[in-house]
Amino acid sequence: MGLLNNVVPVLILVAAGWLVRRPLNLDARLFARFTLLVLLPAMIFHSILRGAVAAGEVARIAAFAILSTLVLTGVTVLVNRLWRWGPDVESALLLATVFSNAVNYGFPIIYFAWGQPGLDRAVIFGICQGLLMSTAGVYIASRGKVGWRQALRPAATNPLFLATLVGFTWRATGLTLPDALARPVELAAGAAIPMLLLVLGLQLADTRLQGAKVQVATAALLRLLVAPAVAWAVTLVVGVEPLTARVLTLQLAAPTAVVTTLLAIEYGCRPDLVASVTLTTTVLSLFTVPGLLWLLH
C-alpha cells in the first residue's frame, strides 16, 4: 500500500500531461520554461529559507553530486571504449547515463515517500545536478564546438543557481521574509511538484523511440541499475545521514533527465539516441524505482 501511495499519484499526473498534450495542442516548452523560471526557483528559495538541512550535510550532498558524476562518467566512458562505439555515441551515452531526472521525477516520489525532510535534501541535490548539467552537460553535448569558458556561461544565469544564491544570502542576513513575499513564494513552491509531473508527461508525449537497440539497452542498464549502486556506495564514502542516503540513491536511480534531449538537439549530439534512452528508462523505471523504494524503506 505504501508503494501505491508513493508511486501511483506520480504516474497519474504524468499520464495526465501525456494524454492532454496532443488533444489540447499544448506547448511543452512553454510549461517547462514557466516551471524553470518561476516555480522551481520558488521551491528552492523556500527550502533554503527553512534551513532544514544543516550546512555540513549540504556540503556532503554537494560532494556526493560531484563524486557520483565523476564515477558514472568513468564507467560510461569505459563501457563505450569496450564497445568501440566512437566519440559521438560516447557523448550521447554520457548525457543519458550521468544525469538523472532527479527533479521532475525524483522530487514528487521523494516527497510522497519521506515528506518535507526528504524533499529538502532532494532540493539540494537538484541544485547541484542542475549546475553540473548546465556546465559539464553543455560541454559534453558540444565537445569540439564549445570550450569550457563558454560552457560555464549558462550556469551564471541558471535560475536554480540564482535562487540558491539569493536564498543563502537572505538566510545569512538573519532577516525574516515579509508575509507579503513569503506567502506567494510558498504558494509557488507548492505548485512546483504537480507542474513538474505534468511537464514530464507533456515532454514524453513528444518523444519517439529511435537509435541502436544495443546502445539504448546499455544506457538504460547503466542509468537504472548501475547508477543507484554507485549512488549508495558514494553515500557511504561521503558519510551522509541515513535519510539523505536514501533520498540521493533514489534520485540517482531516476530515469534519464528530459533536458538532456534538449541539449542533444541543441548541439547535434545524437538526439535520437538520447531521446530513446529517455523514453526507455522512464518506462522501465515504473518497475525499477518501486522496487528500489521498497528496498530503501
Please tell me whether the overall predicted TM-score, pTM, comes out greater than 0.95 for this model.
no
Q: What is the pLDDT along the chain (297 residues), one digit of tens a residue?
A: 455 667 778 888 888 988 998 898 888 878 888 887 888 888 888 888 877 788 899 999 999 999 999 999 999 999 999 998 988 899 999 999 999 999 888 988 999 899 989 999 998 999 899 888 877 887 888 775 655 666 566 666 778 778 888 888 888 888 888 889 889 999 998 888 888 888 888 878 877 776 678 999 999 999 999 999 999 999 999 999 999 999 999 999 999 988 888 778 777 888 888 888 988 998 899 889 989 998 987
Check if the beta carbon of residue 172 is closer than 8 Å to that of residue 163.
Answer: no
Fold (CATH) for 2-296: Na+/H+ antiporter like fold (1.20.1530)
> CA angle, corner 121, sides to 250 and 170, nearest 5?
155
Q: Which residues make Cβ contacts (< 8 Å) with residue 265, sequence separation at least 6?
A: 271
HSE (CB half, 13 Å, CA atoms) of 256?
Answer: 37
The total of other beta-carbon atoms located within 10 Å of residue 36's CB is: 18
Look at residue 90 in the predicted model and tell me its pLDDT: 93
Cell matching residue 79: 563501457
In this prediction, residue 155 carries a pLDDT of 61
Asked if 109 and 293 count as a contact pair (C-beta separation under 8 A), the reply is: yes
